[in-house]
């Protein structure tokens, strides 16, 4: 059979067959063992469920090593993984399954009741087209025709299946600005992209200081775009990924010490919790193995950055700007972290960035405009949503609506968000979806959802509500109303009732004015 293509997991498996590839708690898999599990699973997915090139397979689970069995198997088949956030409600998850045209769903047993209750909203998925991860103890009789994940592996054949060289396609759903999430579809099937993608990956590897044989700690949720991407670079270099099921600040430090972790990706909220540990706890752990502590997904406040730099003995803190849609666009390394407060770095190799005015003019250094990016990793578009795709493009440049400027040295600064997106603990939350649910309550006349300051999470969700004349409603009653249809992280933490919301003469809701009331005391606007 042909040799595997460099830059694929199969190639890495040939390079380091007896080295560790995956660790979670007591489970430790070598590259040879992982590759065999993936190959067996791939044959079952192909022969029993008809999964082939381009097929969509949705998955919903916590951080588990089984995710990697699935991901490697789908690469071997050239299939497209579709991530479902495990905090979503049944109807929210079902929308993603149906919209993505997935015909097979892999889920952790604890989520089976949630998906079972929404079965009618997934008409393209057959009753037996479910794989169940876990012991089944949390299943409670839901999805009765599902196949156990380990059985699917055991029933597969050990067949030499090489990962598709162009198998980097994926669909990751971002919360919808119009009430429904959008599927960010990255189609890697075009062979012309491959050389550009390899060069882009090399730039990221060099930019973050990755090395062959790294041991990467995966602690952020896998259903986001950055965590699996950062861990995936380690795997492409034949290194090992250590999976942490849930984040605990002190446990994270213990894992870094005991597993001699060399790289990890965290959001600022996690680092804030680590930095808040008592000094005697911080001194208890040896963190000297860490070479690349990568931070992103939300603003990294300078005071927190200073604390983190002090906690880790090596100069290892990297920060980046990017998005699900545009991948990694800028990187700032340890040497500039404290020298350039507020910057998210310089252009990452493989990217071209423009700061544009509303009329499309490119702006000079120091002037704030909309940040547009061009690189080979930009999504092909929002799946089945041409309008949203077109609105985000200007020629072959793409924007997620962030406002920024660049200084004379080429360092970029994100200063605001053009859209009303809230970032809480590194998670993107879009107000329109929440407002849509609020307006379903018969007592509500008008409403607005905004992000307000939160010391731990950066921002939290607040709803400002105007009731219909003569109606009465308490904050708890409204929270209870939202509980069935919105994931917990989307629900407003606080609700204010007002007599009237601010509008301008043309009828546009003045959200900026509304936000300013809460942000003024915080001394920041993002």
Residue 487 CA, distance from chain mean position: 16
Q: What is the pLDDT of residues 131-148, one digit of tens each?
A: 999 987 777 889 999 999
pLDDT at 6 over 80: no
Q: Please, are residues 408 and 382 in contact by the beta-carbon 8 Å criterion? A: no
Give the per-residue pLDDT at 160. Answer: 77
Q: Please, are residues 117 and 111 in contact by the beta-carbon 8 Å criterion? A: no
> Tokens 């004379």 sit at which residue?
408
Q: What is the pLDDT of residues 493-510, one digit of tens each?
A: 999 999 988 876 445 678
Q: What is the pLDDT of residues 338-388, one digit of tens each?
A: 999 889 999 998 899 999 998 999 999 999 889 999 998 899 999 999 999
Distance of CA 90 to CAs 110, 115, 117, 478, Å? 12, 5, 7, 20
Q: Please, are residues 406 and 370 in contact by the beta-carbon 8 Å criterion? A: no
pLDDT at 176 over 70: no
Give the per-residue pLDDT at 505. Answer: 47
Sequence-distant contacts of 417-421: CB under 8 A, at least 24 apart: 417/526, 418/370, 419/177, 420/177, 420/450, 420/511, 421/175, 421/177
The band of 12, judged by pLDDT with boundaries at 50, 70 and 90, is confident
Give the per-residue pLDDT at 519. Answer: 82
Q: Please, are residues 236 and 201 in contact by the beta-carbon 8 Å criterion? A: yes
Q: Which residues contact 363 (CB under 8 A, 6 or more apart)?
A: 355, 356, 357, 369, 405
pLDDT: which is higher, 65 or 522: 65
d(CA 273, CA 250): 9
Least confident stretch, 159-168, 226-235, 493-502: 159-168
Between CA 21 and CA 32, with CA 26 as vertex, the angle to 5 degrees is 30
Phi, psi of 326, deg, nearest 5:
-120, 0
Distance of CA 479 to CAs 107, 418, 443, 482, 499, Å? 28, 28, 13, 5, 20
The stretch 249-260 carries a mean pLDDT of: 98
- The structure tokens listed for 26 are 């007591």
pLDDT at 175 over 60: yes
pLDDT at 1 over 80: no
pLDDT: which is higher, 72 or 11: 72
- The structure tokens listed for 345 are 């770095």
The stretch 198-205 carries a mean pLDDT of: 83
Mean pLDDT, all residues of the chain:
90
Give the per-residue pLDDT at 164. Answer: 59
Q: What is the pLDDT of residues 260-299, one digit of tens each?
A: 999 999 998 899 889 989 999 999 999 999 999 999 987 7
The stretch 432-452 carries a mean pLDDT of: 87
The band of 174, judged by pLDDT with boundaries at 50, 70 and 90, is confident
Q: Helix, strand or coil for residue 211? A: coil
Going by C-alpha positions, the residue among 449, 445, 442, 482 that lies closest to residue 466 is 445
Angle formed by the axes of helices 431-438 and 475-482, nearest 10°: 110
- The residues that bridge with 82 in the sheet, in sequence order, are 58, 171
Give the per-residue pLDDT at 64. Answer: 96
Give the per-residue pLDDT at 520. Answer: 77
pLDDT: which is higher, 253 or 203: 253
């Amino acid at each position: 059979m042909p040799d595997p293509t460099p830059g694929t997991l199969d190639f890495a498996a040939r390079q380091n067959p007896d080295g560790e590839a995956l660790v979670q708690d007591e489970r430790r898999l070598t590259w040879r063992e992982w590759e065999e599990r993936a190959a067996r699973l791939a044959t079952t997915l192909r022969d029993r469920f008809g999964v082939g090139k381009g097929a969509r397979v949705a998955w919903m689970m916590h951080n588990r090593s089984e995710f990697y069995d699935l991901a490697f198997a789908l690469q071997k088949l050239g299939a497209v993984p579709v991530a479902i956030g495990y905090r979503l409600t049944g109807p929210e998850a079902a929308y993603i399954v149906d919209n993505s045209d997935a015909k097979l769903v892999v889920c952790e047993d604890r989520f089976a009741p949630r998906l079972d209750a929404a079965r009618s909203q997934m008409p393209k998925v057959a009753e037996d087209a479910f794989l169940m991860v876990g012991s089944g103890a949390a299943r409670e009789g839901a999805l009765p025709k599902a196949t156990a994940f380990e059985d699917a592996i055991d029933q597969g054949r050990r067949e030499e299946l090489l990962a598709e060289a162009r198998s980097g396609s994926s669909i990751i759903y971002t919360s919808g600005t119009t009430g429904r999430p959008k599927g960010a579809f990255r189609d890697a099937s075009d062979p012309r992209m491959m050389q550009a993608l390899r060069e882009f990956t090399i730039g990221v590897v060099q930019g973050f200081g990755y090395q062959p044989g790294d041991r990467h700690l995966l602690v952020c949720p896998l259903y986001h775009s950055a965590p699996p991407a950062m861990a995936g670079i380690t795997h492409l270099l034949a290194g090992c990924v250590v999976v942490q099921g849930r984040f605990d600040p002190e446990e994270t430090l213990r894992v870094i010490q005991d597993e001699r972790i060399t790289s990890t990706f965290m959001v600022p909220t996690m680092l804030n919790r680590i930095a808040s540990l008592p000094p005697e706890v911080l001194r208890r752990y040896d963190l000297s193995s860490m070479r690349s502590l990568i931070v992103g997904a939300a603003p990294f406040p300078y005071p927190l950055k200073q604390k983190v730099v002090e906690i880790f003995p090596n100069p290892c803190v990297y920060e980046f700007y990017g998005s699900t849609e545009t991948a990694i666009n800028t990187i700032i390394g340890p040497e500039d972290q404290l020298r350039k407060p507020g910057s998210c770095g310089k252009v990452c190799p493989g990217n071209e960035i423009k700061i544009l005015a509303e009329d499309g003019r490119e702006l000079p250094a120091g002037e704030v405009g909309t940040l547009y990016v061009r690189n080979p990793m930009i999504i092909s578009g929002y799946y089945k949503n041409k309008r949203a795709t077109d609105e985000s493009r200007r020629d072959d440049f793409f924007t997620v609506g962030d406002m920024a400027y660049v200084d004379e040295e080429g360092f970029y600064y994100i200063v605001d968000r053009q859209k009303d997106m809230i970032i809480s603990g590194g998670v993107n939350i879009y107000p329109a979806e929440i407002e849509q649910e609020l307006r379903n309550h018969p007592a509500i006349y008008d409403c607005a959802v905004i992000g307000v300051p939160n010391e731990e999470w950066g921002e939290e969700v607040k709803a400002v509500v105007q009731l219909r004349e003569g109606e009465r409603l308490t904050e708890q009653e409204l929270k209870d109303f939202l509980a069935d249809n919105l994931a917990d992280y989307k629900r407003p933490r606080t609700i204010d009732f007002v007599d009237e919301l601010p509008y301008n003469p043309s009828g546009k809701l003045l959200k900026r004015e509304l936000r300013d009331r809460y942000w003024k005391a915080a001394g920041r606007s993002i």
